[in-house]
Amino acid sequence: AQSVTQLDSHVSVSEGTPVLLRCNYSSSYSPSLFWYVQHPNKGLQLLLKYTSAATLVKGINGFEAEFKKSETSFHLTKPSAHMSDAAEYFCVVSDLDRGGADGLTFGKGTHLIIQP
C-alpha cells in the first residue's frame, strides 16, 4: 500500500524568502513521486516528478525537490517565494511496480501563504 504524509497543513513565508514544504511517503514498491499545485478554482498542475533517475529534481517556476530514500522524504523547496506561489500543494505517490493501477495517492495538501 502507498501513502503520503504532508507534515504541515499551512505554511506562511514572506515574499522573497525560501519555501520548504515537507512530505514523507510510504510505498511497498519502487515509488514514483510528484508535486502538484492547485490554485483557487483552477485544475491541478504538475510541478515536478521523480521516477528513479536523479534524486534532485527540478520543476517549473523555480521549484525543486530531493528524493531521500533513507528518510522516505520528498520535500519541496524554492529559494525565493513569489506572491503568485500562493496556492495548495499536494505531494503524490504512485507505485512503479504496480504499473499505476492503484492510481495516484495524494497527501492532504499544504496551503502556502505568501506575506507581502
C-alpha Rg value of the chain to the nearest Å: 14
Name which of 80 and 99 has its Cβ closer to another protein.
Answer: 99
Q: Which of 22, 59, 64, 96 binds another protein (CB under 8 A)?
A: 96
Q: Which of 10, 42, 70, 116 binds another protein (CB under 8 A)?
A: 42
CB of 116 to another protein, least distance (A): 25
Q: In this structure, are residues 56 and 66 in contact, taking their beta carbons and an 8 Å threshold?
A: yes
Q: Give CA angle at 77 (74, 91), nearest 5°.
A: 40
CB of 27 to another protein, least distance (A): 12
Residues 6+ apart with CB under 8 A from 63: 35, 47, 48, 76, 77, 78
Q: Contact residues for another protein (CB under 8 A)?
A: 32, 34, 36, 42-46, 49, 51, 90, 94, 96, 99-109
